[in-house]
Amino acid sequence: MPIDWTPFVEIIRPRKRFLLTTHVRPDGDGLGSMLALADVLRGQGKTARLVVASTLPPRYDFLDPDRRVRRFELPGDDYRDAEAVIVLDTGAWGQLGDFGTFLRSLTVPKVVIDHHLTQDDLGAVRLVDVTAEATGRLVFEAAAALDAPLPASAAHALFVALAMDTGWFRHSNTTPATFILAAHLQEVGARPTEAYVELFERNTIGRLKLTGLVLQRLRQVHGGRTAFTEIRRGDYEATGAAPQDSEDLVNYTRGLEGVEVGLFFMEQPRGGVKVSFRSRARIDVARIAETFGGGGHRLASGATLPDPLEDARTRVLAAVAAALDAPA
């Protein structure tokens, strides 16, 4: 259902100072959307500060050569002069890290721009369209609602958002409208070939070694209908990789013939296990993720469990088995 952008315009027009954020462990959609919206707001004579409550992935450095996105740390007093906060590509407290604590303390207007089904009450105006293939599309719509021109840098960032959340236009969320928007963004200034080289042809030896380890641990269960693999706490040091190098590796689990659900378990440095869920089509993995306090999309979701790796794996595999065995 199309979004009514009137509340967004009413918040933006009279204000000058904005604080933008996205989820921890940001991806191309979260970062691209945030950077693009910042450029749009600045083109309207406003200021936009950008923060994320986690380490920023070097993979996306090319989108932010001036290092405008800062790592957020509590208490965050430097950001209390913001007149409004815009949260992009998530509407869940659990995805905001320490920024969530800061957000709860603010009384200024808050806006969520997102395309995920799972939403918490952040005390914000929610501009959510779960049919959108990427939050980047919604930022494009927001700029149009403001009657704001799209700078070339914003078009490039939005192309990355669109391309990454559709698996470079391979996933089932890709529609004819996706290609129309991609073509428009290229006309405005997006550089697809350059983006692809930066994202996929700039691997470190550490990431490639980590990929090899993940593939070595790949297993199939439930009669071949589920595939899973994992990263253990010491793997990053052993391979010379960084946690951000794990992005996209879950896709190997779903890429096996006959697999309906792919799972990727990642031990976290401070304890617990992050789980990425992928579904071929029939199984709604968002519903499974929600039982563990997570959520996301029907075919791609995530959750973080407090359990040790072995226990988390056992619990999640049992939940997936139950979903596979349930009547269609």
Quick one: 29 and 178 in the same domain? yes
- Verify that 140 and 179 share a domain, yes or no: yes
Instruction: Read off the CATH number of the domain in which 58 is found.
Output: 3.90.1640.10
Same domain, 169 and 217: no
Both 189 and 210 in a single domain?
no
Residues 25 and 170 in one domain: yes
pLDDT of 208 strictly over 90: yes
**Contact present, 46 and 15 (Cβ < 8 Å):** yes
Domain that holds residue 228: 206-325
**Looking at 167, 200, 233, which one is the last position of a domain?**
200
CB within 8 A of 164, min separation 6: which ones?
Answer: 27, 28, 29, 32, 134, 199
Q: Identify whether 142 is part of a domain.
A: yes
- Give the end of a domain, one of 149, 175, 200: 200
Q: Please state the domain count of the chain.
A: 2
Say whether both 64 and 190 belong to one domain: yes
pLDDT at 220 over 70: yes
How many C-beta atoms lie closer than 10 Å to residue 231's C-beta?
25
CA–centroid distance for 103 within its chain: 19
User: For the chain, what is the mean pLDDT?
Assistant: 95
Distance CA 3, CA 11 (A): 15
Instruction: Convert the pLDDT of each residue in 47-72 to its tens digit.
Output: 999 999 998 888 999 999 999 999 99
pTM as predicted: 0.86
CA distance 38 to 150: 11
Is there a domain that residue 1 lies in? no
Residue pLDDT, tens place only, 242-299: 888 898 899 999 989 999 999 999 998 889 999 999 999 889 999 999 999 888 888 8
Q: What's the pLDDT tens digit per position in 242-255?
A: 888 898 899 999 98
Same domain? 238 vs 293 = yes
